[in-house]
Structure 1
């Protein structure tokens, strides 16, 4: 009888854990769907970006060549009504890389808006959007707390020290 009770408890715990994981996956799917819906939604607002900014879907992106720390780069973006760029898919990442290459004729390591400075291993975008897509280099992330793109030969993502000075990419909604 005790074995049956223990078995029932274990099965119940496994079912609850599975249900929780399913709910979390559904929440992530809904968040991605909402971002994609917003990107394709057309309204009466201006569809133009300020001079020097590059339009992609519903956002404008700006490459800032000045080498700043991650916090200084975010503060600079905020001063323009933007944040360091969040990235929500491979196509968008490739567009940002292309924009940087067009401006610099190379692929410099560059700040984007990801950080796990609030809690190690919990990556967040500075603009508050869900951190679902990632393009980490092999073996990354490690123990540093700020996200750079265009790292290494694969031009992937690396976490590095936030005090490092790099160029950056800002993004804001149209």
Structure 2
């Protein structure tokens, strides 16, 4: 019995017993994702993600976008906000978290339009991006690094 306790206590020092993602978050490819339960305006999606220590989803590759689209369809979302906007300079879309131009985009044909739609959403039926009125109420996904990669 004493040997068993020694092994358990000794091994506990080598094993990280903390979770990769907190409760309510999903792990995927070294990140944690939180899926909203209701739609909000773009500014509120950005703010809500920041308030929980994350950022509104910004895609850097198609593989991640495909996974998020799948998870969103499972939840029966129709459109989701993406952290990409041209609020500051019309027709110059930048990442909401950094202000940098994105390295990856997936705009639908004819998008973005040159109009008053300054925020970006993914149309889940088309699997393409559209510019949208920022006042629309859409679901959103927050992302942050997984705990063991933070």
Structure 1: gaps of 5 or more residues: 1-43
1:108 pairs, out of 74, 78, 84, with 78
Structure 2: gaps of 5 or more residues: 1-15
Structure 2 counterparts to residues 157-168 of structure 1, below 5 A:
157-168=129-140
More helix by share: 1
TM norm structure 2:
0.77
2:108 pairs, out of 123, 137, 159, with 137
Aligned-partner Cα distance in 1 for 2:101–2:66: 19
Q: CA deviation at 1:95?
A: 0.7
**RMSD (Å) for aligned C-alpha atoms:** 1.9
Structure 2 counterparts to residues 30-109 of structure 1, below 5 A:
48-102=20-74, 104=75, 106-109=76-79
Aligned-partner Cα distance in 2 for 1:149–1:65: 17
Which protein has the larger Cα radius of gyration, Structure 1 or Structure 2? 1
1:118-174 Cα distance to aligned partner (Å, 9 max, x none)? 1112211122265111111110001211011125x4221100110111111111122
SS at match of 2:20: coil
TM norm structure 1:
0.67
Q: Which has the higher contact order (CA 8 A, sep 6+)?
A: 2
State the aligned residue count: 127
